[in-house]
Homo-oligomer: A and B are copies of this chain.
Amino acid sequence: MSHASAGPLSSDEAAGIHILADLIGASRLDDPEHVEKVLRECVTAAGASLLYVYVHHFDRGEGVTGVAVLAESHISIHSWPEYRFAAIDIFMCGSAQPDKALPVLDAGFRPTEMVTRRFERGKGGLQGEIFESLDLLK
């Protein structure tokens, strides 16, 4: 894709790592300034390069949508504060370390549970293995 995708995309190499994270019992999901701050902290923690950040607050007390576009792909968050639920995805290629964003999400939104799934995208032209971590950070 960019300078971040070094080397060939061979049968044993992924284009990037994609993590889906569901946050359950989470807090501060209706605060767009806080969501943007946490997104920026995730980018820093992962060692990624921010191209653009966009945050939209649907209405007072309602959910927030935030997307951080990166040289290494993106991070997105969509929140439902009424259910204390947020759906996050973190996709990064190159030398960025998407897993390092997870403790930042944990500290920023204090979920009672975080459920993650992790994929290697483009591995051998197909998606790689899946694994799921329950209560990953507890």
Which of B15, B69, B127 sits near A56, CB closer than 8 Å? B69
From residue 103 to 130 of chain A, which have CB atoms closer than 8 A to chain B?
113, 115, 117, 119, 121-122, 125-127, 130
Which of B76, B85, B125, B127 sits near A20, CB closer than 8 Å? B127
In the docked arrangement, what's the CA distance between A54 and B54, Å? 9
Chain copies in the assembly? 2
From residue 40 to 90 of chain A, which have CB atoms closer than 8 A to chain B?
51-52, 54, 56, 58-59, 62-65, 67, 69-71, 73-74, 76, 78-80, 83, 85, 87, 89
Given A16-B87, A85-B9, A119-B20, answer yes or no on A58-B2 (Cβ-Cβ < 8 Å).
yes
A36, CB-defined interface residue at 8 Å: no
| Contacting pair B130 A62 (CB below 8 A) | no
* CB-defined contacts of A62 to chain B, threshold 8 Å: 1-2
Is the interface on chain A under 10, 10 to 19, 20 to 34, or 35 or more residues?
A: 35 or more
| Contacting pair B89 A18 (CB below 8 A) | yes
Q: List chain A positions with a Cβ less than 8 A from chain B.
A: 1-3, 5, 8-9, 15-16, 18, 20, 22, 24, 51-52, 54, 56, 58-59, 62-65, 67, 69-71, 73-74, 76, 78-80, 83, 85, 87, 89, 91, 93, 113, 115, 117, 119, 121-122, 125-127, 130, 132
